[in-house]
Structure 1
Amino acid sequence: MRRKVRISPFWQHFLEMFFVMWLGMAVGGRLFRAVSGLSSSEAFSQYPWQSVLSMGLSMTVPMVAWMLWRGHGRRNSMEMAAAMLVPGVPFIVLCSLHVLSGGVAARGYMMLSVPAMLGLMFYRKAAYSMPMGAPWHRRVPLHHH
């Protein structure tokens, strides 16, 4: 007999956003390397703060798009964008001042992005604990004239 694994809506939201965030980062990293014509380590070395900014935007933009598509609303989506981008600011500043290398900054930023996301989710737990129907199951209200 198989047991059905049940994931709470909160953790379902987290896993969905985490997946989209990492997918965006993978695609964004490839695009950044293609545009710069450099390997990862060369890009982090030659364009340190730009690499961190690219990483932040690559994680945030698809996550916000996913949240909007899933019906989270603009306020929640913009709050999540801020929670994802704000932790990158000190790393971008430190890279531009040549205090940190791009690789060190990127790893630090990645390590802070998940706790920042979870922190906001716990702060707004009610919003992230509601079950969300799949977007393809939503009914669009019809306007009668």
Structure 2
Amino acid sequence: MTDADSHADVRADGTSAAEPAPAPLATPVTRAASIRAFAWHYVQMLIAMGVGMMALTPLLTFAFERLGGSGLVDRADVSSLLMASSMALGMGLWMRFRRHSWISVSQMSAAMYLAFIPFFPLHWAGVMSGETLLIAGHVLMLPLMALAMLLRRAEYLPGHRH
């Protein structure tokens, strides 16, 4: 074996071709990048909910009315649950497309419903109008969604493989 032959098995980085190649260094993820990724996921959820609400609420309302619930659809509590269903379906479809776990989809969907339910007794007692119930439910939904995301924050950070 000549001196030239012994150098033929050496890579440019100085390691032997007989050894496994070293793993490339991972790009460090900054805190700012993590926050941006988390926030972008949150915005995507809001967009998917909005699309679901606009596309599916009329369909769910139509189906509900055809099944005999026409008078019920005008009630704010029933309407809020139909709206929550359309938002949860739109958002859930997007989350599954993004390969989020079923438990994450379930937790995020629960946030849609749980946001309205605490206000039902106030509405039924006549203390809160239907319009206020809908507004308050949507406002409460935002931190509940953030909480659901924080419970599984690794799914929403850079580098996570869905």
- Count of residue pairs brought into register by the alignment: 124
AA in 1 matched with 2:153? K
**Which TM-score applies when normalising by structure 2?**
0.62
Equivalent runs, 1:94-105 vs 2, <5 Å:
94-105=122-133
CA distance in 1, matches of 2:145, 2:80: 17
Classify 1:131/1:64 alpha carbon distance in 2 versus 1 (closer, same or farther; 3 Å). Answer: farther
Equivalent runs, 1:103-118 vs 2, <5 Å:
103-118=131-146
1:53 to 77, 81, 85: 81
Partner of 1:127: 155
CA distance in 2, matches of 1:106, 1:114: 13
Q: Please give the per-residue CA displacement for 1:6-52, whole angstroms capped at 9, x wherever unaligned.
A: 8833222112111011111223444466566xxxxxx98x4121111
Higher mean alpha-carbon deviation, 18-27 vs 102-111, is at: 18-27
Classify 1:90/1:130 alpha carbon distance in 2 versus 1 (closer, same or farther; 3 Å). Answer: same
Q: Secondary structure at the match of 1:100?
A: coil
AA in 2 matched with 1:20? A
Classify 1:129/1:30 alpha carbon distance in 2 versus 1 (closer, same or farther; 3 Å). Answer: same
AA in 1 matched with 2:154? A
1:17 to 13, 36, 45: 45
Unaligned stretches of 5+ residues in structure 2:
1-32, 66-71
| Percent of paired sites with the same residue | 29
CA contact 1:52–1:88 (8 Å) conserved in 2: yes
RMSD after superposition: 3.0
1:89 shift after superposition? 1.0
Classify 1:61/1:131 alpha carbon distance in 2 versus 1 (closer, same or farther; 3 Å). Answer: farther
CA contact 2:53–2:86 (8 Å) conserved in 1: yes
CA distance in 2, matches of 1:28, 1:92: 23
Greater RCO between the two (CA within 8 Å, min separation 6)?
A: 1
CA contact 2:48–2:90 (8 Å) conserved in 1: yes
Unaligned stretches of 5+ residues in structure 1:
1-5, 37-42, 136-145
2:104 to 65, 76, 84: 76
**Which TM-score applies when normalising by structure 1?**
0.68
CA distance in 2, matches of 1:131, 1:8: 13
